[in-house]
């Protein structure tokens, strides 16, 4: 059996005809940016998140950068973020001119440890960026409470958390602002790159709108020195179609995660543990196993795709050498990054496929490198 890590073709097939019709309509009109689809998607996704305001942008990294800048973050400021995240989180902070302050994560969810964040606050701290990694919401109430105590901004990195719930509220409506990525492998993915900023502050939304379109206030007037962060109409149309199916897709991801979790009970295979007051989006399904590289090789023999998210934490990235940043204790992060491996997770997975993957993982966890090898594959 072949089980890829992701299957984009399977996700696209049911909506292919609708997408092609809408693309043809857009190309007939040739209004390719900031058109009716972008406007409609802004309204629809903002409402989906339950946020007061939202702005469509070019990708998730630009979204986080724009959200931070719009919240007033810049040179001389410190921004607290987890070291265990995709590096774009840290890049966006650097691009504002601020100093990243990297902290550890909680063991159960591998999201920001609120106690570690509290220990990292200084007089220069101006913002906290909790990352809802793997689709698991960070522990937001103590993070927001900490921010309010010190007059800080909270900007969620929700790139992997479309539709995730924290205490019955969707990620993207838990802090001052939030950034989303619609990179094509995401739960809500575009046909390339796209992003979004949600916010509770109308002034932040207006600032993001200026930043994304060269600071335009009219055709020939520029209020600020901005950027080109526009989402194009083809991406917006595709995302509108996929948004209509997002909740059904999330239900399937959650059912798949529940089945994996049940199959791994009492086997020694460690999974992330969601807090009871959250409903994760399960963008990825990571497990932790001491011989991670051995497991990857073994699963590959059986036709099973895997991924590692992320083996090198930000504080050990070569890109930070010689740069201004601070780093706190990383006990959980250092242990996790050597053990974590992502198993196949997408709505189109069948129960048979999940049983097949879980059986192979359990075999390896139990028997290690003496686990039974896969049968020889016939050449084409």
What is the distance between the alpha carbons of residues 309 and 270, in angstroms, rounded to a whole number? 15
The H or E element that residue 9 is part of is helix 8-12
How confident is the model over 193-222, as pLDDT tens digits?
Answer: 999 999 999 999 999 999 999 999 998 999
Q: CATH 3.90.1150.10 in the chain: give the residue spans.
A: 246-368
Instruction: Determine the 3-state secondary structure of 227 from DSSP.
Output: coil
Q: Taken in order 7, 188, 159, 233, is the CA torsion positive or negative?
A: positive
- Taking residues 336-364, report their average pLDDT: 97
On the CB side of 226, CA atoms within 13 Å amount to 22
Among residues 35, 41, 28, which one has the least CA distance to residue 239? 41
Residue 374 has pLDDT above 80, yes or no: no
Q: What CATH number has the domain spanning 8-244?
A: 3.40.640.10
In this structure, which CATH number among 3.90.1150.10, 3.90.1170.50, 3.90.1640.30, 3.30.70.250 belongs to the domain 246-368? 3.90.1150.10
pLDDT, tens only, 273-321: 999 999 999 999 999 999 999 999 999 999 999 999 999 999 999 999 9
Token output for 219: 């055709």
CB-neighbour burial class of residue 373 (10 A; exposed 0-12, middle 13-18, buried 19+): exposed
Cα–Cα distance for residue pair 212/345, rounded to 1 Å:
33
Domain with CATH 3.40.640.10 in the chain: 8-244
82 sits in which H/E element: strand 78-82
Alpha helices in 132-279 (DSSP H): 140-150, 202-212, 233-244, 246-264
119: left (phi over 0), alpha (psi -120 to 50) or beta: alpha
The SS3 call for residue 365 is helix
Its pTM stands at 0.96
Q: How many CB atoms lie within 10 A of CB 90?
A: 26
* pLDDT tens readout for residues 116-168: 999 999 999 999 999 999 999 999 999 999 999 999 999 999 999 999 999 99
CA nearest neighbour of 188 among 243, 237, 241: 243
**What is the rounded distance in angstroms from the CA atom of residue 375 to the CA atom of residue 301?**
8
Distance separating alpha carbons of residues 365 and 359, to the nearest angstrom: 10
């Amino acid at each position: 059996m072949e089980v890829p890590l992701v299957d984009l073709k399977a996700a696209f097939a049911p909506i292919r005809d609708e997408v092609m019709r809408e693309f043809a309509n857009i190309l007939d009109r040739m209004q390719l940016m900031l058109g009716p689809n972008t406007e409609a998607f802004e309204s629809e996704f903002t409402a989906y998140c339950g946020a007061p305001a939202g702005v469509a942008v070019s990708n998730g990294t630009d979204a986080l950068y724009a959200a931070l800048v719009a919240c007033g973050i810049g040179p001389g400021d410190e921004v607290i973020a987890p070291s265990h995240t995709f590096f774009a989180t840290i890049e966006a902070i650097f691009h504002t001119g601020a100093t990243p302050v990297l902290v550890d994560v909680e063991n159960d969810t591998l999201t920001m440890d609120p106690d570690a964040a509290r220990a990292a606050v200084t007089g220069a701290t101006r913002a906290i960026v909790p990352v809802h990694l793997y689709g698991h919401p960070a522990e937001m109430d103590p993070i927001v409470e900490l921010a309010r105590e010190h007059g800080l901004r909270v900007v969620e990195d929700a790139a992997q958390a479309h539709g995730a719930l924290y205490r019955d509220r969707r990620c993207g409506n838990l802090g001052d602002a939030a950034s989303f990525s619609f990179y094509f492998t995401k739960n809500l993915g575009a046909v390339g790159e796209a992003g979004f900023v949600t916010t509770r502050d109308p002034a932040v939304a207006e600032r993001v709108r200026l930043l994304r379109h060269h600071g335009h206030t009219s055709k020939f007037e520029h209020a600020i020195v901005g950027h080109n962060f526009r989402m194009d109409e083809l991406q917006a149309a595709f995302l509108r179609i996929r948004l209509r199916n997002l909740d059904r897709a999330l239900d399937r991801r959650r059912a798949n995660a529940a089945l994996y979790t049940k199959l791994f009970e009492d086997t020694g295979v460690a999974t992330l543990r969601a807090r009871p007051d959250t409903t994760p989006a399960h963008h990825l399904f990571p497990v932790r196993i001491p011989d991670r590289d051995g497991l990857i090789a073994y699963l590959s023999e059986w036709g099973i795709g895997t991924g590692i998210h992320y083996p090198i934490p930000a504080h050990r990235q070569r890109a930070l050498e010689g740069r201004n940043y601070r780093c706190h204790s990383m006990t959980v992060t250092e242990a996790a990054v050597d053990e974590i491996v992502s198993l196949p997770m997408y709505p189109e997975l069948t129960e048979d496929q999940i049983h097949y993957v879980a059986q192979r993982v359990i075999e390896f966890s139990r028997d290690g490198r003496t686990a039974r090898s896969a049968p020889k594959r016939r050449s084409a």
